[in-house]
Structure 1
């Protein structure tokens, strides 16, 4: 293999594909990125056996072929090459080494055989559809913060994506929960998504997808089956295994009879929570909300630092109420809200609270209270 490629093009592509490669691997080939020439240019592929990402970048192929080299090492080398340079990649006769050169700079990297590189894309996809990148990104951003990191409840370690029927319309809905909070967002279902299986997209895949979608504004192609999902975003193809588990019946935890409505300004509330939680610690992360008439008093008591309070004018006409929440969880939710005003639907100090986004009717949040 021998090719010429612009450094900026190679660096951008490596930045996409090298992220899925774990820095520590017991299987040496999984530390490598596959480089292969074809009619379109240079194709790069990396995998951790759960996620596979490929991207083709324009290049001038003087001799076709393929090999694999350490992904993070190649990325670091290309990143440090002079800007505007042209990079030559060439393997030696037996394919055991690859030379990376630009001007007077030369590196020789150890290679592993292309034939040993794994492929997780085998299999058929039963459903496919296209949707705007902005819509998919919105579903992810509204829900990903609530994904559980508790490995024993592996079925919560991702976003549950499924189609639902609502008033004769089909909606595409994303849900994530860690048992303490729940985030739900939905959009009009794209053509072709009706009847799709309910799937759980893993946390790592969600993170990579979020980064890629942030760089593109065109439509995204989505293909899926019961076991895998594939996203085509411009020149990038991201394929991932799905979590093999059953997502819980989240509808059961969404409160239906919370009748105490609290209306407040999102920015003022978020800033107040942030201020009073400055003194909170790992032992005291709760912020108490005391409601009386049209006034909300936020209080944080820290066993290590002291006490902080702040008062806010709000819209509240129900009975006086005191309820506590994790301050970090409140800030996470407030950071996703689009409207200027937010509505908290409350019941009592021990029951979950429903939070609606006045700027996005398709989004809602459920937050479990804390003892204060």
Structure 2
């Protein structure tokens, strides 16, 4: 088997696929890329057993179809160190010897029999298919990924919940301290369904969507899904379990509203949070009709900070505490110039929404308050 590849494109595809490979694998074969040649097309596959990623590219001067597994670490190091130039692969199908030739030299090493590489999971007969704009999938992941829980005690909270309706897709995530509900009606799936997408494939999808335009073809059954976009194909397993009723968590009666410049509040929070106690990151908001005063202190080190930010507030004056780092994350993921902060009392969650929702979008973020001593 012989083929030529353009180094830059090859390295880009290897890098994309490498995101699915774990640093340590239970099966040694998963330390490898699976390279498969079919005519003038090369597929590069990586896997961690639960997720399988394949990238495709065009090759030239191809002689013979076939497949071989190649050390991912070695191939990434080789392509990283060679300047942009064609690479020619000579692969002995019987001995699995690989010879990579380039302008000034060559590399020679052994590959692994491709038949040892685990096959992609066969999907169930009963499955659903939807075509969603890449921008819709990217916005859904971008808006919710930051609030996914890292606590494996409750696995269902460690992924993004896709609640699919006939006319929209609702993306939800929560770590119990904050919850994001993002509705996008840019495209109508035409059916109902749901699944919990783990954070790892969500991150991989986020990275490849930026490289491709067009629609994402999503085919899923009760156990997992395949996402097909341009030159990429990602298969993953879902998180099993029933996601909590997120609508019940969102307070319906928050009569007091504070409208504030997002960047002004964000920059003030960053400064004040430096002086918050590291154990709690507590920032206290003293909300008044024309301004909000931010307080933070660390009694262990005898430090404190206070800053005032102009706002428009309708309601009773209120003193309420929140985790400052969580507030910073939330404000970083709201992209309108102004934010509406809805409250009812110091013991109930606060609700963040952009002042102007984008067309076809509806995002709501809630944050649990902290006790103010």
TM-superposed CA distance for 1:267, in Å, is 1.0
Contact 1:127–1:196 (Cα < 8 Å) also in 2 = no
TM-superposed CA distance for 1:164, in Å, is 3.5
Per-residue CA distance 1:120-163 (angstroms, 9 max, x = gap): 33124611121221111111111110000001110011100012
Mean CA deviation greater in 327-336 or 94-103: 94-103
1:13 to 2:13 alignment: yes
Report 1:1-372 matches (<5 A): 1-60=1-60, 61-83=62-84, 85-92=85-92, 94-124=94-124, 126-164=127-165, 170-188=167-185, 190-191=187-188, 193-303=189-299, 304=301, 306-360=303-357, 362-372=362-372
Rounded to whole Å, the distance in 2 between the matches of 1:103 and 1:269 is 56
Listed as ranges, the gaps of 5+ residues in structure 2 are none
Contact 2:277–2:297 (Cα < 8 Å) also in 1 = no
SS of 1:279's partner is coil
Contact 1:128–1:223 (Cα < 8 Å) also in 2 = yes
**Quick one: structure 1 residues 327 and 95, their matched pair in 2 at CA, closer, same or farther if it must change by over 3 Å?**
farther
Rounded to whole Å, the distance in 2 between the matches of 1:106 and 1:203 is 39
User: Scaled by the length of structure 2, what TM-score is found?
Assistant: 0.94
**Quick one: structure 1 residues 159 and 104, their matched pair in 2 at CA, closer, same or farther if it must change by over 3 Å?**
same
User: Scaled by the length of structure 1, what TM-score is found?
Assistant: 0.94
TM-superposed CA distance for 1:294, in Å, is 1.6
Contact 1:284–1:301 (Cα < 8 Å) also in 2 = no
SS of 2:168's partner is strand
Rounded to whole Å, the distance in 2 between the matches of 1:367 and 1:280 is 18
Listed as ranges, the gaps of 5+ residues in structure 1 are none
Contact 1:284–1:302 (Cα < 8 Å) also in 2 = no
Mean CA deviation greater in 175-184 or 124-133: 124-133
SS of 1:311's partner is strand
TM-superposed CA distance for 1:93, in Å, is 5.0
**Quick one: structure 1 residues 281 and 72, their matched pair in 2 at CA, closer, same or farther if it must change by over 3 Å?**
farther
Per-residue CA distance 1:30-86 (angstroms, 9 max, x = gap): 111100100341111111011111121111212322100111221121111122x11
